[in-house]
Chain A
Amino acid sequence: MSSAAIPVAQIKTITMSIYRYDPTLDKKPYMQDIIVEVPTDKDIMVLDALHLAKAQEPSLSYRRSCREGVCGSDGMNINGKNGLACVTPLSEVIKRNKITLRPMPGLPVVRDLIVDMKQFYDQLEKVRPYLITKSDSPDIERTQSPEDREQLDGLYECILCGCCSTSCPSFWWNPDKFLGPAALLQSWRFIADTRDEATDERLDDLEDAFSLYRCHGIMNCVSVCPKGLNPTEAISNIRNKLLTRKKA
């Protein structure tokens, strides 16, 4: 993600091969090649190229919002790997003047590059992704040492784009039972928070064969996370916590 200023030489037109499907019109999905002219004096992002494609083909559908990698709307499968279109420079993914875009795998397709995220959000809700406290709040803020706060770095930054869970074979297989890397990262975000007072209940919720233990350490989640987060590590932290709790 560091080469935005490097010019892409020679390229004038590129082929965007894009997954198209509108269930109300199309019997089945198909790949459409859209030829797009891109500037040669500067690099652009995959999302910018998609805008150019949409100007030609207004029915092309995809989600987007912040266009700077913080809102998590435009997760998609770019040349076979999940990522955010808005922070993926074209120069990094273009091969022989061509780029292939598909929806994130494993979830039902609503239309074109848009997937139904319901299962993803449902699993997130299961981990009770909010601070739970039992003691009374003080009149001012709760105190937390910088070291304790640092435990949340690498966790709170998640943007819920879904790139990780939809690249996880365990999630593809059991999207209703295995919580998936994104939800488990959130679970650990609250277990790791010294202000949270529901660690035991949170751990209880994960003590079954599927919710947590279906993670087989494949680490696709880590390799695709556009924010550089490490869900596999969060999952192993939860496992360790469960183990030490049993011993005690």
Chain B
Amino acid sequence: MLVNEVINAKDLPVMEFDGIIVGGGGAGMRASLQLAESGLNTAVISKVFPTRSHTVSAQGGITCAIQSDDPDDDWRWHMFDTVKGSDYIGDQEAIEYMCSEGPKAVFELEHMGLPFSRTEEGRIYQRPFGGQSKDYGKGGQATRTCAAADRTGHSLLHTLFQANLKAGTNFLNEWFAVDLVLNADKAVVGVIAFKIETGEIYYIKSKATVLATGGAGRIYSSTTNALINSGDGIGMALRAGMPVQDIEMWQFHPTGIHGAGTLVTEGCRGEGGYLLNKDGERFMERYAPNAKDLASRDVVARSMALEILEGRGCGPNADHIFLRLDHLGPEVVHKRLPGITELSKTFAGVDPAVQPIPVVPTCHYMMGGIPTNINGQVISVEHGEDKIVDGLFAAGEVACVSVHGGNRLGGNSLLDLVVFGRAAGLYIEESMKQGIEVKDASNDDIEKALERLNRLNASTEGDQVSVLKEKMQQNMQNNFGVFRRGDLMEKGIEELAKTREEVNDIFLQDKSATFNTARIEALEMQNLFEVAEATAITANERKESRGAHARDDFTERDDENWLKHSIYYADTKEVSKRDVNYRPKTVQAFQPMVRSY
């Protein structure tokens, strides 16, 4: 059966695996590795060949207290920094798990062959990163971020792909997952997916489905994210009746290359680089007297945006900031930051060993996502109570476990995806051993997951993807950026509401079944739109400033009302609150304090 036909459930061929993972990035392939090594029949469904996933673009490193640079380093200090970085809405049980299990997960990567840079002693090289301290913020800057030059994500992703080849994982490469299939008990029992090359479509059945589809930075017009980051997992979850949590929390990375949006790692500042305004002033000394350029990303991004707004930006249009590296010398720049050197030459026409790089805060990371517990099990919230969704897991950027809360620290995303990809795998492995009984999906259940495709195939007129996408991206960029304001957000929400029908009725002119990228882009657009709408409505609802969510009309953090997760459902478009976890298992919880760097 082909993707461009009228597809009905009773004729749909079925494939079955013990576990399926949607997404072939770091989280997905760490989960699949765990399952494949335990002998389970495991499949990774990835819309691109796995090494083309966005993990490949991570640069600076993976933050973890492995005690290489500092033998006295302590995962509890890393936990403190992460809780503080989250502006106190990160779940402390999850952060405790990530920081304490982290060293094991990092050493496993080294054992798999990850080509980490090395110290003179032959251990893994670590560099300073933003928001990292010793002794619970009292001992100065920590050097904790493990690196493979400035290509850590590339090295990590390729290493995981290699390990999966060795373990015999089944790869369904260049397959697109359309929607989740739920049975009568509302348990997830697989996905509808098609092979992009030929258009052959299947119901892929499994007792455990892991969403590891990454982020959705393409809701904004200026982003460091790959073109494939379209929030497919978020779209699937919202349509299937699951919630998203803290989706208003979007990280703007301080240093995207001006005009191009490509990322320049925080590791540049870790290695000693700093930011300058048009007067040549090292302005971060004013905003963060202690940590300066290595303050948390939300703090640095806001400071830069203020400098530009107040007329101290660089260049003829005073619209960017300079990142200076030349004082480090060509040796450090070319050896420690070879990828940055290449990107700066290509996208800014400058050699950072000689000239400063023009940078601006650029959309980078989605802190929110599908709520899960530390086993990766997806959680829905019913009448204020957490309830586990059977058969569905999420890990990595698509998930909100939540270790990043209102603001993620640099180097914590790679740690998040290996630790929780692994944790989901371990949990599934264990529950498979004990045996899982689930009801089969009926034809009616499967039909529901086919609706979107059939509607697209039937389209005869309407708007093109490129038009709708640009409208949405401009709206998000203008009304839901670094600084937010109620009246503008309401205007933005209205605009989205007006576009909703057009997105549902998107026009697919090209109905070919063979490698039809127009069909993929239409399906991706619908996913992006779900993320954009959830972001907009939730951002307007959170009436405070916290982490990356900075409002001009509510400038203070409001712990009395908003020391909470936001929870959003697409069917009602309503926002509710969920308690933040302050119950770590082995240490005392860190209580909210004034956050300064």
Chain B residues closer than 8 Å to A190, beta-carbon distance: 113
- Is A140 engaged at the interface, CB distance under 8 Å to the other chain? yes
Query: In the complex the two chains form, is A159's CB within 8 Å of B51's CB?
Result: yes
0/1 string, B246-287, CB within 8 A of A gives 1: 000000000000011011000000000000000000000000
- Is A248 engaged at the interface, CB distance under 8 Å to the other chain? no
Query: In the complex the two chains form, is A65's CB within 8 Å of B226's CB?
Result: yes
Known: A4-B348, A71-B226, A159-B154. A65 touches B466 (CB 8 A): no
Query: In the complex the two chains form, is B512's CB within 8 Å of A143's CB?
Result: no
In the complex the two chains form, what is the Cα distance from A130 to B164 in whole Å?
9
- Is A205 engaged at the interface, CB distance under 8 Å to the other chain? no
Binds A, one of B118-126, B430-438, B495-503, B535-543: B118-126
0/1 string, A155-173, CB within 8 A of B gives 1: 0110110000000000000
- Is B6 engaged at the interface, CB distance under 8 Å to the other chain? no
Known: A5-B350, A110-B515, A141-B123. A71 touches B110 (CB 8 A): no
Among B112, B115, B155, B260, the most chain A Cβ lie within 10 Å of the Cβ of B115
Query: In the complex the two chains form, is A59's CB within 8 Å of B512's CB?
Result: yes
In the complex the two chains form, what is the Cα distance from A42 to B115 in whole Å?
38
Among A3, A66, A130, A195, the most chain B Cβ lie within 10 Å of the Cβ of A66
In the complex the two chains form, what is the Cα distance from A3 to B57 in whole Å?
22
Among B57, B124, B162, B515, the most chain A Cβ lie within 10 Å of the Cβ of B515
Q: Which of A73-100 contact B (CB under 8 A)?
A: 73, 87, 89
- Is B228 engaged at the interface, CB distance under 8 Å to the other chain? yes
0/1 string, A121-134, CB within 8 A of B gives 1: 10001001111010
Among A114, A129, A130, the most chain B Cβ lie within 10 Å of the Cβ of A130
- Is B297 engaged at the interface, CB distance under 8 Å to the other chain? no
Task: Output the nearest chain B residue to A73 by Cβ-Cβ distance.
Answer: B52
Query: In the complex the two chains form, is B162's CB within 8 Å of A131's CB?
Result: yes
Known: A110-B514, A149-B117. A69 touches B346 (CB 8 A): yes
Q: Which of A16-48 contact B (CB under 8 A)?
A: 22-25, 42
Query: In the complex the two chains form, is B51's CB within 8 Å of A72's CB?
Result: yes
Query: In the complex the two chains form, is A130's CB within 8 Å of B118's CB?
Result: no
Q: Which of A68, A141, A146 contacts B110 (CB 8 A)?
A: A141
- Is B151 engaged at the interface, CB distance under 8 Å to the other chain? yes
Query: In the complex the two chains form, is A71's CB within 8 Å of B515's CB?
Result: no
Query: In the complex the two chains form, is A58's CB within 8 Å of B107's CB?
Result: no
Query: In the complex the two chains form, is A111's CB within 8 Å of B514's CB?
Result: yes
Query: In the complex the two chains form, is A65's CB within 8 Å of B509's CB?
Result: no
Query: In the complex the two chains form, is B122's CB within 8 Å of A68's CB?
Result: no
- Is B163 engaged at the interface, CB distance under 8 Å to the other chain? yes
B487 to A: closest C-beta gap in Å? 33
Q: Which of B56, B113, B464 contacts A70 (CB 8 A)?
A: B56
Among B343, B350, B513, B514, the most chain A Cβ lie within 10 Å of the Cβ of B514
Query: In the complex the two chains form, is B516's CB within 8 Å of A61's CB?
Result: yes
A64 to B: closest C-beta gap in Å? 6
0/1 string, A101-117, CB within 8 A of B gives 1: 00000000011101011
Residues of B in contact with A, size category: 35 or more
Query: In the complex the two chains form, is A156's CB within 8 Å of B115's CB?
Result: yes
Q: Which of B115, B158, B513 contacts A149 (CB 8 A)?
A: B115
Chain A residues closer than 8 Å to B107, beta-carbon distance: 137, 139-141
Query: In the complex the two chains form, is A71's CB within 8 Å of B509's CB?
Result: no
Among A72, A140, A196, the most chain B Cβ lie within 10 Å of the Cβ of A140
Known: A59-B510, A59-B512. A144 touches B197 (CB 8 A): no
Q: Is the interface of A mostly helix, strand, loop or mixed?
A: loop
- Is A8 engaged at the interface, CB distance under 8 Å to the other chain? no
Query: In the complex the two chains form, is B118's CB within 8 Å of A68's CB?
Result: no
Chain B residues closer than 8 Å to A23, beta-carbon distance: 514
Query: In the complex the two chains form, is B349's CB within 8 Å of A143's CB?
Result: no
In the complex the two chains form, what is the Cα distance from A62 to B110 in whole Å?
35
- Is B417 engaged at the interface, CB distance under 8 Å to the other chain? no
Query: In the complex the two chains form, is B349's CB within 8 Å of A2's CB?
Result: yes
A239 to B: closest C-beta gap in Å? 23
- Is A6 engaged at the interface, CB distance under 8 Å to the other chain? yes
- Is B563 engaged at the interface, CB distance under 8 Å to the other chain? no
Query: In the complex the two chains form, is B517's CB within 8 Å of A61's CB?
Result: yes
- Is A145 engaged at the interface, CB distance under 8 Å to the other chain? yes
Query: In the complex the two chains form, is B123's CB within 8 Å of A25's CB?
Result: no
- Is B590 engaged at the interface, CB distance under 8 Å to the other chain? no
B143 to A: closest C-beta gap in Å? 16
In the complex the two chains form, what is the Cα distance from A81 to B349 in whole Å?
23
Query: In the complex the two chains form, is A130's CB within 8 Å of B166's CB?
Result: yes
Known: A68-B347, A71-B57, A130-B113. A157 touches B123 (CB 8 A): no
In the complex the two chains form, what is the Cα distance from A6 to B350 in whole Å?
11
B113 to A: closest C-beta gap in Å? 3
Query: In the complex the two chains form, is A142's CB within 8 Å of B111's CB?
Result: yes
Query: In the complex the two chains form, is B57's CB within 8 Å of A149's CB?
Result: no
In the complex the two chains form, what is the Cα distance from A58 to B54 in whole Å?
24
- Is A233 engaged at the interface, CB distance under 8 Å to the other chain? no
- Is A152 engaged at the interface, CB distance under 8 Å to the other chain? yes
B337 to A: closest C-beta gap in Å? 14
0/1 string, B175-212, CB within 8 A of A gives 1: 00000000000000000000001000000000000000
Q: Which of B37-81 contact A (CB under 8 A)?
A: 48-49, 51-54, 56-57, 66, 68
Q: Which of B87-113 contact A (CB under 8 A)?
A: 103, 106-107, 110-113
Chain B residues closer than 8 Å to A137, beta-carbon distance: 107, 111
In the complex the two chains form, what is the Cα distance from A193 to B116 in whole Å?
12
Query: In the complex the two chains form, is A160's CB within 8 Å of B51's CB?
Result: yes
In the complex the two chains form, what is the Cα distance from A55 to B465 in whole Å?
9
Chain B residues closer than 8 Å to A66, beta-carbon distance: 52, 54, 56-57, 226-227
Q: Which of A167-196 contact B (CB under 8 A)?
A: 190, 193, 195-196
Query: In the complex the two chains form, is A1's CB within 8 Å of B345's CB?
Result: yes
B residues sitting closer than 8 Å to A (CB atoms) are 48-49, 51-54, 56-57, 66, 68, 103, 106-107, 110-113, 115-124, 148, 151, 154-155, 158, 162-163, 165-166, 197, 226-228, 259-260, 262-263, 339, 342-343, 345-350, 464-466, 509-510, 512-518
Contacts A63-B48, A71-B54 known; 12 new A-B pairs at CB < 8 A: A22-B514, A42-B259, A54-B466, A59-B512, A59-B518, A63-B52, A66-B52, A125-B165, A130-B163, A140-B103, A141-B107, A145-B118
21 pairs of residues in contact across A and B, judged by CB atoms under 8 Å = A2-B349, A4-B347, A5-B350, A23-B514, A58-B465, A58-B509, A58-B510, A65-B227, A66-B52, A68-B262, A68-B343, A70-B56, A71-B48, A87-B346, A112-B515, A125-B165, A131-B113, A140-B123, A144-B122, A146-B118, A160-B51
User: Which 8 pairs of residues, A with B, have the shortest CB-CB distance?
Assistant: A5-B349, A131-B113, A143-B122, A130-B162, A141-B110, A59-B510, A71-B52, A111-B515
